Structure 1
Amino acid sequence: MAHLSYLVNTLIERRYLITFSADNAVYQFDLSREDDDPNYKVFHFGSVVEEMVTNILGCGEKQPTFPQIPKMINYTVKRQPVSFGSNADNVSDDTVYLTDSTETRPGYVRLKFRLGEMDNLPEHLRSQISKYYLHPESSGKCFVGIRCSIWPNEAREWFERDRPVEWPGEHILQLAKEDDCFLLSRHHPQSDFPESEWQWIFPITERRLALEALSEDQKYCFRVFKLLVDFHTRNLPVKLSTTHLKTIMYTTCEIIAFDLWKLNPGGCLLFLLQRLITCLRMGVISNYFIAANNMINHFTTKQLCALRQRLYAVRVFPVPALVMLVDSHNLFGTCFLDRTLADIERFRKHRDLYRSFFECFLVNFSLCYRAHVLSMYFENAKQILEEAYFVKTEKLATNQSEELDFEQFLLDVTGDEFGDLKGLVVYEIDMVCNSSFSHSLRNSTDFVAFKDILESTDCMEYSEVPVPRDVLDSRYKVLMFLETLTSHLTHQRQYQKAAHFVRCAIKKSMEAIQCSNEEREELQTASNHENLFHTQMTLYNCVLLRLYNDLYNIYKSMGQTELMQEYIADYEVVCLASDYTYHYNRVAKIWQKLGNNARAQELRDQAESIKSSKTSYSSNVSRYSSIDDVD
């Protein structure tokens, strides 16, 4: 279950789930018109305004601008009291309709007019007036409704139902007792009286359950459950509606402990699937409020069998089912799948979740964290580590003696992934998330400020960023740090900043070469210092070659290769001081890009000449069996 929970949270991140707010859904489709009848109102209901309709947003897909159109009930402002039962005796004078549940299925009624004085009409006139209220045909998602202040007797059981975990809670139940319900102009699919049958619905309470009673973790599990069911049954001739799935969800919430939805979402998802399969096998999904109303009794045996077989495969093979869903939307995260599947096999042998955490989960979390940092999704990166920390401290519930708070956990993972750039990454997270993780690094004696490496005018906004103190041990370490910094900024596509710090690194390299030359003049008599000098010069030249090449690639990414005109001559000088022919070819390509084809060809010729001389020397040496034969 731990591996499935990890895969669910990793492959289907909450940021990929697009759900429009209820207020936005109503606002988009509740535009008042001048010719609206003031005696009638519109009430929006259904899964759209309950925020239970979810889209999954994959890579390269555009977020939908508008929500789906919600269902609407048109009802009269004036109260039209409904009396339960078809007997007109002992009802109040203001009663308009009498319910008649004979020859209808549970949850559905027909409405009789209380004719009053019309009973005195002649028989031939009364026979032309229907004794039942015939509703108009519903068009699309618009219905006619009658608002009722009293719930029907068959729904009273919902208030007194046995609930092992006391969901949705006494407070919600008390509020629901004051909620109105509706008679909706919608007949049962197998109704014998489609033009006069009305359905009991409880949209106010349903909206309260979805928006107030469900926790964020429960909503997340339901949305993944719905996505899986919809995806794997999409090509079947029969569909399960959101109402069917909500009913499974709500009845499950009354059974599963509240904390498990966060601790074990994979297990909760499997429970929902198994409960749905069991209901399909029995051919019964009872309405959540009126248990006697079987919402799938109009499904054929063949349809139920097709749904059950498809969902049983999802239940038995949840990981492949999840991967198929994720792969269809090109979601980020499938790159961690192989490591997780391999660890499942190892886990079956050692049964040590703590070991799996460090060998698999933490590695995947760290890689995912790194990817989000480089993509500059710092809030998501922080959330990933929060999930990793939660798994380590809460889900595993180990008896390990180590005490580690989240801040130290974040610093440790950041250090493992980004090395000397630990302080920079933590600073970036602080700036976006309004946190203070870098504060402890600034106060540490193991770190200095970035302004201690570069002049304040060159630091941009990073002057106070913590940098490991050992970076100051040598000029070469400073150059390596700046090179790492520019690579980090390039991966983040912050090309202007990357180019700035490459230029700073080139300047630092030139200063380092000058300092080495001065030190050589002071210590020119010592042979060991001469060897050190040549080593240093080789290192600095290699750094310069990489920096100039990086600078060109950054300018190229910016679409401004002409800026390299300022540095190409210096790049060529460093190139000519080395024997690396591929650098000759690199400089030649840049000259050609800048329009100097003649100089480009000269460098290519020099590169070929160096290659030829090296090849000739190698062939001459190989003719002798030993070095002594040369003489």
Structure 2
Amino acid sequence: MKDVYPDGNCLFTSVCDQLRVRGDFSFTPRDLRHAAVDFLRENPNQDDGTPLSEFLADEERNWEKYLRSMSRDGTWGDHIVIWALAHVLNKRIVIYRGDKELHKTIVEPTATLKKSSTDEDNNTSTTANKSTDLNKDTKDQQDKPLLHKDVYELYLGHISESHYVSLRPMNWREELFEELKRKQTSSLVGINPDSKGLECYKQDVPQIHLTFTMKYIRMSDLIYRLPISNNDDRDNRDNGKRASIEMHIEDTYITMIGDKNKESTKLKVKTLIIPKDTKIYNKSSKKTLTTKDLIMNIQRCSPGSTKLQVVDPICWPNVLDEDNCLIQLNDPSWFPESQSKVTQLAFQCEWPDASEEWLNRTRRFNWPKQEVIDEIKVCGCRVIPKCVPTRVYPSSEWKFTFDKAEEILEENAVSEDQLCCLLIVKIALNSVMNNLFTIQQLKHVLFFLCEETEEGKWKTELAECIWIFLDRLKECLTCKQMPNYFMPCLNLLEKAEDEDDTFILRCIECIDIIQNHPFVTLYFICDDSKLVSFDMKQVFNTLVEDSRQYAFKQDIDTSVRHCFLPIVAEGVSIIVRLNRYMEALDKCQKATNHLNMLLKEGKKLQVEDVISHVICLSYRDIDKWMFAFAADQTLGTLFTETVCSGRETVSFFDFFGPLQTTLRTESSDIPIPQDLVSNHNLPETICYGLEILERICPREVYSEVMKFLLSNHFPKMVENGGKFPLTMRYVRMILDKIKVNLPKKME
């Protein structure tokens, strides 16, 4: 069962969900409502001539009034609308209802009414408004395979005669996969894929809508990611220990927020034990070596590997092969204190001659910059055991690993848009075939693309960049080769060499689905996430509707101002409702920059346009004023005066102290609505006001604010806290801030 938001549109949303799990995005809930009303307006009678108004309650038998009411958003759909939807969609609709006894009602379009004798005995259409008891479990009905898209049935549940839900078939994912695979090209906006609006796009919606969707998902912090590594600084300091310890997550966990379930406990974490008194050098190195140092010897080694020639065999008793090369030291019994399932001995290595090409590579778009390359060269790399050794046949080959170089690139060279591309690709791949690629493999593909792609393209054509990314992955699968970015001779797809062609083709089919249906893929990624709210699904509905208009008119300005801007404002308003005002302001500034990349000069947005939309969407007065105050103090705007217009106000400085010389103000005062500083609301107002002041005031000024509150308002707030128990939470929060920010003697 897929529950939907109970906003009065649940019938249309449930029917829409039934269509979408079968790969049909032709309708949004609003489309279905309007289509049903239009059908009823054109077909006010049943086939036998009976007016449908006869089925209305006696006091509501005004057909036009009924249609006007039903066309309004939030009006509950009824049995007449269900009959209309069956005709509009040319689909049989099956409805299950009942608490103790389950009843089934079938509604089907007259033109396709083809019943068997069993159907006639057990079920009737709702044209006659009848239903029958089910004496057996209906699970078999849901388990049966989906039919062809032109004749499949839609399954709805009706709970307590007041709420509709979507009853998804048990195998809906497999059937959706097959349906999307069958649709080699599709247009989610309900038009011909070859029409002018999509002529330059390979995806299911116009590229600007797809790029916006991807950036909005990223901006909304819906993607959860664990850190790259977890290094213990205590062990890495020069504290007399002979080795440093680093923990690395082999496949960084990436998913939609809300899906951090038991899978996150199954991460492959490896611990590296890195001796401090041993380092590995090239044969060509001119540095003075110690007796414990090692020398790289790549002769007769597999690509990406090396043997470690010892300088002084006496220092390495019983761990050398016949060529005086160090064998792999990876017996778990040698690392009894390690908490990780995978513990490896690793050696610090100077930048290998085998990767000299990377240092001097021609880079058309100057990525990464030379200072980053120099930092990576100084950092060097590591070598780890190439494989899990056995005691009987130990190996003497060690594999190069570039974990630190990857981290430096990600922190200093990879832009936010490039990172967004990586994360979207990862969660999209996981949605169609889990564990197809590790994040480390994808990062090396991304690094190559960053070198080959102009920086501006990542900002304005993110969807196209993701398409190119996926194309590169298909090339790697086809030839079973994925070169390491720093050492191209090292193949990151070694395991694929043992896979048969059937598996490779299956993987390529999965990537094809993402390329042909990226918007559908993103929709179901968000749909599967437990914490992605109704608001996110409404985002997709709004984008689908606007895609149709854009596909025909090609008016970017209209799409930005009437579709993208309201979506962004609604998303930021949610952050405002969570009292994260400075974060919301930062989102407004970033969103303005993203949207302006789509607009021509003279039509660009101001950040004030986004902020004003957010203030209008905020419910509570305190949220409106606090967000306006944060904007005024950061940007020099006058939103607090707008929020306070027509209301009784008091001076902000009466409650937070004499900050006239610190805060921005166009006049001698900053107004604040009087009701926000009443006995009941004052603790909450001061609590969130302090959070903003902490961000914008120097520390010494902020401390003075604390002292002012402590002497002028805090005793009264504590007293009133006994009268208004809910406000005590804010009093405690203020007290915690005072303890942290005032000197010890003032506490």
- The interval holding the TM-score normalised by the smaller chain is 0.5 to 0.7
Note if 1:71 corresponds to 2:276: no
Mapped partners of 1:2, 1:387: distance in 2:
17
Note if 1:3 corresponds to 2:209: yes
Say which SS state the counterpart of residue 208 (structure 1) adopts. helix
Residues 5 and 217 (structure 1), Cα distance of their counterparts in 2 relative to 1, 3 Å cut:
same
Contact 1:186 1:199 in 2 (8 A): yes
Q: Which amino acid aligns with 2:213?
A: L
Mapped partners of 1:204, 1:244: distance in 2:
15
Partner residue, 1:393 = 596
Partner residue, 2:559 = 356
Residues 406 and 127 (structure 1), Cα distance of their counterparts in 2 relative to 1, 3 Å cut:
closer
Match of 2:351 among 140, 151, 163: 151
Output one character per residue of 1:140-189: Cα deviation in whole Å (capped at 9) or x when no partner: 331112222x3322211111112221111111112222223222112399
Residues 448 and 284 (structure 1), Cα distance of their counterparts in 2 relative to 1, 3 Å cut:
same
For residues 143-542 of structure 1, what are the structure 2 equivalents within 5 Å?
143-148=344-349, 150-187=350-387, 195-234=395-434, 239-299=436-496, 300=499, 301-330=501-530, 331-332=532-533, 333-379=536-582, 381-400=584-603, 405-407=606-608, 409-411=610-612, 413-414=613-614, 417=617, 426-431=624-629, 435=633, 440-441=638-639, 448=645, 450-451=647-648, 464-465=671-672
Partner residue, 2:305 = 108
Compute the displacement of 1:422 (Å): 10
Compute the displacement of 1:448 (Å): 4.0
Contact 2:246 2:271 in 1 (8 A): yes
Q: Which amino acid aligns with 2:301?
A: T
The percent of aligned pairs where both chains have the same amino acid is 16
Contact 1:151 1:180 in 2 (8 A): yes
Mapped partners of 1:54, 1:155: distance in 2:
30
Compute the displacement of 1:294 (Å): 1.6
Residues 211 and 239 (structure 1), Cα distance of their counterparts in 2 relative to 1, 3 Å cut:
same
Compute the displacement of 1:338 (Å): 1.3
Output one character per residue of 1:495-523: Cα deviation in whole Å (capped at 9) or x when no partner: 9659x9xxxxxxxxxxxxxxxxxxxxxxx
Compute the displacement of 1:372 (Å): 4.2
Note if 1:26 corresponds to 2:231: yes
Residues 292 and 352 (structure 1), Cα distance of their counterparts in 2 relative to 1, 3 Å cut:
same
Mapped partners of 2:289, 2:567: distance in 1:
69
Compute the displacement of 1:76 (Å): 2.3
Partner residue, 1:136 = 330
Output one character per residue of 1:231-271: Cα deviation in whole Å (capped at 9) or x when no partner: 3221xxx6422221110111111122223333333333232
Q: Which amino acid aligns with 1:135?
A: L
Structure (1/2) with the larger helix percentage: 1
Residues 397 and 199 (structure 1), Cα distance of their counterparts in 2 relative to 1, 3 Å cut:
same
Structure 1: state its 5+ residue gaps: 86-90, 119-125, 468-481, 486-493, 501-557, 559-631
Partner residue, 1:612 = none
Residues 193 and 182 (structure 1), Cα distance of their counterparts in 2 relative to 1, 3 Å cut:
farther
Output one character per residue of 1:32-63: Cα deviation in whole Å (capped at 9) or x when no partner: 69xx9932332445668xxx64443229x799
Mapped partners of 2:245, 2:438: distance in 1:
23
Mapped partners of 1:290, 1:129: distance in 2:
26
Mapped partners of 1:68, 1:495: distance in 2:
51
Q: What root-mean-square deviation, in Å, do the aligned CA atoms of Structure 1 and Structure 2 show?
A: 4.8
Q: Which amino acid aligns with 1:428?
A: M
Say which SS state the counterpart of residue 200 (structure 1) adopts. strand
Residues 194 and 276 (structure 1), Cα distance of their counterparts in 2 relative to 1, 3 Å cut:
farther
Say which SS state the counterpart of residue 298 (structure 1) adopts. helix
Mapped partners of 1:495, 1:284: distance in 2:
69
Q: Which amino acid aligns with 1:337?
A: F
Compute the displacement of 1:322 (Å): 0.8
Compute the displacement of 1:425 (Å): 5.0
Residues 432 and 129 (structure 1), Cα distance of their counterparts in 2 relative to 1, 3 Å cut:
same
Residues 360 and 184 (structure 1), Cα distance of their counterparts in 2 relative to 1, 3 Å cut:
same
Compare 127-136 and 193-202 and name the one that shifted more: 127-136
Larger radius of gyration: 1
Q: Which amino acid aligns with 1:271?
A: I
Mapped partners of 1:140, 1:157: distance in 2:
35
Q: TM-score, normalised by structure 1?
A: 0.59
Paired residue total: 446
Output one character per residue of 1:544-581: Cα deviation in whole Å (capped at 9) or x when no partner: xxxxxxxxxxxxxx9xxxxxxxxxxxxxxxxxxxxxxx
Partner residue, 2:99 = none
Partner residue, 2:32 = none
Contact 1:451 1:463 in 2 (8 A): no
Mapped partners of 2:325, 2:609: distance in 1:
75
Mapped partners of 1:80, 1:216: distance in 2:
35
Residues 130 and 406 (structure 1), Cα distance of their counterparts in 2 relative to 1, 3 Å cut:
closer
Partner residue, 2:191 = none
Q: TM-score, normalised by structure 2?
A: 0.51
Mapped partners of 2:343, 2:385: distance in 1:
9
Q: Which amino acid aligns with 2:366?
A: E
Residues 243 and 365 (structure 1), Cα distance of their counterparts in 2 relative to 1, 3 Å cut:
closer
Residues 111 and 264 (structure 1), Cα distance of their counterparts in 2 relative to 1, 3 Å cut:
same
Compare 275-284 and 96-105 and name the one that shifted more: 96-105
Output one character per residue of 1:349-371: Cα deviation in whole Å (capped at 9) or x when no partner: 11121122233223323433444
Output one character per residue of 1:52-101: Cα deviation in whole Å (capped at 9) or x when no partner: 64443229x7999999675332232223555549xxxxx97948645443
Output one character per residue of 1:198-229: Cα deviation in whole Å (capped at 9) or x when no partner: 10123332221122222233223322222222
Output one character per residue of 1:361-411: Cα deviation in whole Å (capped at 9) or x when no partner: 2332343344444454544543554355334433222543xx763235523
Contact 2:570 2:614 in 1 (8 A): no
Residues 378 and 104 (structure 1), Cα distance of their counterparts in 2 relative to 1, 3 Å cut:
same
Mapped partners of 2:584, 2:348: distance in 1:
48
Contact 1:185 1:198 in 2 (8 A): yes
Contact 1:407 1:437 in 2 (8 A): no
Contact 2:290 2:311 in 1 (8 A): no
Q: Which amino acid aligns with 2:217?
A: L
Note if 1:56 corresponds to 2:256: yes
Partner residue, 1:41 = 244
Residues 97 and 422 (structure 1), Cα distance of their counterparts in 2 relative to 1, 3 Å cut:
closer
Residues 243 and 117 (structure 1), Cα distance of their counterparts in 2 relative to 1, 3 Å cut:
closer
Q: Which amino acid aligns with 2:209?
A: H
Q: Which amino acid aligns with 1:298?
A: K
Mapped partners of 2:394, 2:598: distance in 1:
52
Structure 2: state its 5+ residue gaps: 1-206, 333-339, 657-668, 685-725, 727-747
Say which SS state the counterpart of residue 435 (structure 1) adopts. helix
Mapped partners of 1:183, 1:294: distance in 2:
16
